[in-house]
Amino acid sequence: MATICVVGTGYVGLVTGTCLADLGNRVTCVDIIAEKIERLKKGELPIYEPELEEIVGRNVSAGRLHFTTSYREGLNNADFVFIAVNTPSTDSLGGADMSYVENAARSIAQELDHYTIIINKSTMPVGSGDVVKRIIRANLSRPDVRFAVVSNPEFLREGSAIQDFRSPDRVVLGSSDKEAARKVATLYLPLRAPIVITDLYTAEMIKYASNAFLATKISFINEIAQICERLDADVKEVAAGMGYDKRIGRAFLDAGLGYGGSCFPKDVRALAYMAEEAGLHPQLLHAVMEINDDQRRLVSDRLTTILGPLRGCTIGVLGLAFKPDTDDMREAPSIDIIRQATDQGAYARVYDPVAMTTGCEALKREGVRMEQVQFCQGAYEVAESADALVLVTEWHEFKSLNMREIRTIMRRPVVIDGRNFFEAGELNRLGFIYCGIGRGASLPPAMLPDRDWASSQSLVDA
Ligand code: UGA
Chain mean pLDDT for the chain: 94
Q: How far apart are CA 36 and CA 307, in angstroms?
A: 46
Task: Dump the DSSP string for 416-447.
Answer: EETTS-S-HHHHHHTT-EEE-SSBGGGS-TT-
Per residue in 26-60, pLDDT tens?
999 999 999 999 999 999 999 889 999 999 999 99
Q: Whose CA is nearest to atom 18 of ligand 1?
A: 157
200 near 176, Cβ under 8 Å?
yes
- Residue 257's contacts (CB-CB under 8 Å, 6 or more residues apart) are 295, 296, 298, 299, 333, 337, 392, 418, 419, 437
CA dist 392 and 320 (Å) reads: 7
Res. 88 pLDDT band, cuts 50 70 90: confident
Helical axes 128-139 vs 99-111, angle rounded to 10°: 40
Q: Is the pLDDT at 287 greater than 60, yes or no?
A: yes
DSSP strand pairing (433-435 vs 414-417): parallel
Of 209, 332, 328, 319, whose CA–CA distance to 259 is shortest? 332
Query: Which residue has the CA at smallest separation from atom 20 of ligand 1?
Result: 157
The predicted structure's pLDDT at residue 148: 98
CB-CB contact of 210 with 202 (8 Å) = no
Cβ distance 440 to 228 under 8 Å?
yes
Confidence of residue 441 (pLDDT cuts 50, 70, 90): low
pLDDT of residue 90: 82
Please state, in angstroms and as integers, the Cα–Cα distance from residue 222 to each residue in 165, 289, 294, 384, following that order: 29, 12, 10, 31
Kindly give, in sequence order, each residue whose CB lies less than 8 Å from that of residue 450, ignoring residues fewer than 6 positions away.
Answer: none
pLDDT for 71 beyond 80: yes
pLDDT value at position 105? 98
Nearest CA to ligand 1 atom 24: 259
Q: How far apart are CA 298 and CA 79, in angstroms?
A: 51
Task: Point out the ligand 1 atom lying closest to the alpha carbon of residue 252.
Answer: 36
Atom of ligand 1 nearest to the CA of 161: 15
pLDDT at position 447 is 52
Which protein residues are within 6 Å of ligand 1, measured from CB? 123, 154-158, 211, 214, 218, 252-254, 256, 258-261, 263-264, 322-323
Amino acid identity, position 206: I
What are residue 67's DSSP bridge partners?
A: 29
Share of the chain above pLDDT 70, in %: 95
Helix (H) or strand (E) holding 315: strand 314-318
Atom of ligand 1 nearest to the CA of 257: 33
Q: Percent of the chain beyond pLDDT 90?
A: 92
Residue nearest to atom 12 of ligand 1 (CA): 263
Q: Rounded to an integer, what distance in angstroms lies between the CA atom of residue 168 and that of residue 162?
A: 10
117-172 pLDDT, tens per residue?
999 999 999 999 999 999 999 999 999 999 999 999 999 999 999 999 999 999 99
pLDDT at residue 7 is higher than 90: yes
Q: Is 263 a catalytic residue?
A: yes
pLDDT by residue (tens digit) across 303-328?
999 999 999 999 999 999 999 999 99
Ligand 1 atom nearest to CA at 215: 24
Say yes or no to pLDDT of 457 above 50: no
Query: Atom 36, ligand 1: which residue's CA is nearest?
Result: 252
Name the residue of 157, 253, 291 whose CB sits within 8 Å of the most ligand 1 atoms, as the mutation to test its pocket: 157
Q: Which residue intervals of 249-323 are DSSP H helices?
A: 264-277, 283-307
Of 228, 263, 313, 360, the catalytic one is: 263
Give the residue-averaged pLDDT of 382-390.
98
Distance 406 CA to ligand 1 centre (A): 30
One-letter amino acid for residue 407 of the chain: R
Which residue's alpha carbon is nearest to atom 27 within ligand 1? 259
C-alpha–C-alpha distance, residues 448 and 433, integer Å: 10
Say how many Å lie between the first and final Cα of the chain, rounded: 68
Quote the DSSP letter at residue 392.
-
Q: 159 C-alpha vs ligand 1 centroid, how far in Å?
A: 10
Mutate to test the pocket of ligand 1, among 12, 16, 121, 158 (most ligand atoms within 8 A of CB): 158
Number of helices (H), then strands (E), belonging to the chain: the values are 18, 14
- Position 96 confidence tier, pLDDT thresholds 50, 70, 90: confident
Q: What is the pTM of this model?
A: 0.93
Q: What is the pLDDT of residues 229-285, one digit of tens each?
A: 999 999 999 999 999 999 999 999 999 999 999 999 999 999 999 999 999 999 999
Residues 387 and 314 sit within 8 Å (Cβ to Cβ): yes
Confidence at residue 461, expressed as pLDDT on a 0 to 100 scale: 37
The CA distance from 241 to 250, in Å, is 9
Tell me the CA–centroid distance for residue 157 and ligand 1, in Å.
6
pLDDT digit string (tens) for 174-187?
A: 999 999 999 999 99
Q: Who contacts 256 (Cβ-Cβ below 8 Å, separation ≥6)? A: 222, 295, 418, 419, 420, 437
User: What distance in Å separates the CA atoms of residue 409 and residue 327, rounded to the nearest whole number?
Assistant: 28
For the CA of 218, the closest atom of ligand 1 is 34
Ligand 1 centroid, distance to 332 Cα (angstroms):
12
327 Cβ contact list (under 8 Å, min separation 6): 47, 48, 321, 352, 354, 355, 357, 358, 359
Place 92 in a pLDDT band, splitting at 50, 70 and 90: confident
- H or E element: which one contains 390? strand 388-391
pLDDT-derived band at 446, boundaries 50, 70, 90: low
